[in-house]
Amino acid sequence: MVSAATAIDSPLTFEYSEEQLLIKEMISDLAQKEFAPRAAEVDRNHRFPRENWNLLAASDLCGLVFPEQYGGAGLDSICYSIVVEELAKACATTSVLYSAHVSLCAKPIYIFGTEEQKQKFLVPMCKGEKLGAFALSEPGSGSDAASARCTAVLKGDQYILNGSKNWITNGIEADYYLVIAQTDTTQKHRGLIALIVEKGAPGFSFGKLEDKLGIKGSSTCQIIFEDTPVPAANVLGLPSEGFKVAMVTLDGGRIGIASQAVGIAQGAWDHSFKYAKERVAFNKTINKFQAIQFMLTDIQTEIDAARLLTYHASGLQDRGVKFTREAAEAKLYASEMAMRNTVKCVQIFGGYGYVTDYPVERYMRDAKITEIYEGTSEVQRIVIASNVLKGK
């Protein structure tokens, strides 16, 4: 069942379908029972929760949005948002390892892949036998994605990769990496190519493992290519379409991060709501104070708004409508909302919010990255501006 705290969290005009409600209850049960209890330990030990991934696979969630013919569940994007939100409410690390796999690796293979590539790579990813990652950013290029310097040179029927990629979610644990590399620096974004690289390829190694502020169980690391051969059969889309593959991938990925931010904020709110009902000050529980009530109501209002923006972008994606702007709006608002409000949740806990005995400090640390990865808030504003102002 959805918890009592959660049941009051959605006075939305949006109506869930029966299927979406079933998914919400199922994932909420799984996440609260299995992932929430170990979230603090995963964070403390910077440990990739392999057992959580195995449970997601056993629950047939790894290919949620892909057709059954590829081993997926054939569900819609709103179901995907619901799953990511429920995971993030319990354990943000688990939500990001899942969303990087689905949105950033499996999805572009589904959209741009040949039938052969889908059978070879997507099917095992949907079954949860293989984990995916996305490699776009580099030490010297983050927001300016088109200036990637990692090179891919065609020799016979192979591309030879040289260079490094930074900030790779699932970096160490992944089996497949969607790598964006440069074939011709004079062409800038039109010189970029998208390649599926398998772990264990010659000359493929790991660099620095990052010591992060939050989502500490997700292994974020640098990956390095030294004369790494990749079969030309692993090119995703046309060789000149790497930038397009990356941008289309990020459109979908940003809905995942918006969902994650909604989940982090809702998780922090749920804990704060419970705490406020129990904590006594001046002879009454602190939820009787208007100052606390106003904080809780303001936070919940903003969470509801962020969730609606997120579902709106998901719904457009499901209907096959261009959703670049709406995904950027959802990510921008939801991530800044989560950061702003997890700070307030820490405030509700007072001193107890600042120590690891309670989970709100973790939610606050986990929230920050949602304003940065898959495009910073500033990049989202650029994307929104270019789409809103187009033709004006």
Catalytic positions, written as ranges: 374
Residue type, 64: L
Tell me the closest approach of the beta carbon of residue 375 to ligand CAA, in angstroms: 3
Q: Does 189 bind ligand CAA (CB under 6 A)?
A: yes
Q: Does 324 bind ligand CAA (CB under 6 A)?
A: yes
Q: Does 9 bind ligand CAA (CB under 6 A)?
A: no
Question: Residues 41-80: x/- map of binding to ligand CAA (CB under 6 A)?
Answer: ----------------------------------------
Tell me the closest approach of the beta carbon of residue 251 to ligand CAA, in angstroms: 5
Q: Does 197 bind ligand CAA (CB under 6 A)?
A: no
Tell me the closest approach of the beta carbon of residue 244 to ligand CAA, in angstroms: 5
Residue number with CB closer to ligand CAA (300 or 335): 335
| Of 31, 64, 136, 264, the one binding ligand CAA by CB under 6 A | 136
Number of residues that bind ligand CAA (CB under 6 A): 25
| Of 20, 38, 374, 384, the one binding ligand CAA by CB under 6 A | 374
Tell me the closest approach of the beta carbon of residue 134 to ligand CAA, in angstroms: 5
CB 309 within 8 A of CB 385: no
Q: Does 182 bind ligand CAA (CB under 6 A)?
A: no
State the DSSP H helix or E strand holding residue 248, giving kind and residue range, or none if neither: helix 242-278
Q: Does 179 bind ligand CAA (CB under 6 A)?
A: no
Under DSSP, the state recorded for 2 is -
Q: Does 379 bind ligand CAA (CB under 6 A)?
A: yes
Tell me the closest approach of the beta carbon of residue 389 to ligand CAA, in angstroms: 12
| Of 342, 367, 375, 384, the one binding ligand CAA by CB under 6 A | 375
How many angstroms separate the Cα of 92 from the Cα of each of 328, 354, 359? Answer: 20, 18, 12
Tell me the closest approach of the beta carbon of residue 388 to ligand CAA, in angstroms: 14
| Of 36, 40, 123, 146, the one binding ligand CAA by CB under 6 A | 146
Residue number with CB closer to ligand CAA (235 or 276): 235
Q: How far is CA 93 from the centre of its chain?
A: 9
State the DSSP H helix or E strand holding residue 89, giving kind and residue range, or none if neither: helix 77-90
Q: Does 134 bind ligand CAA (CB under 6 A)?
A: yes
Residues that bind ligand CAA (CB under 6 A): 100, 134, 136-137, 143, 145-146, 167-169, 189-190, 243-244, 247-248, 250-251, 324, 373-375, 379, 382-383
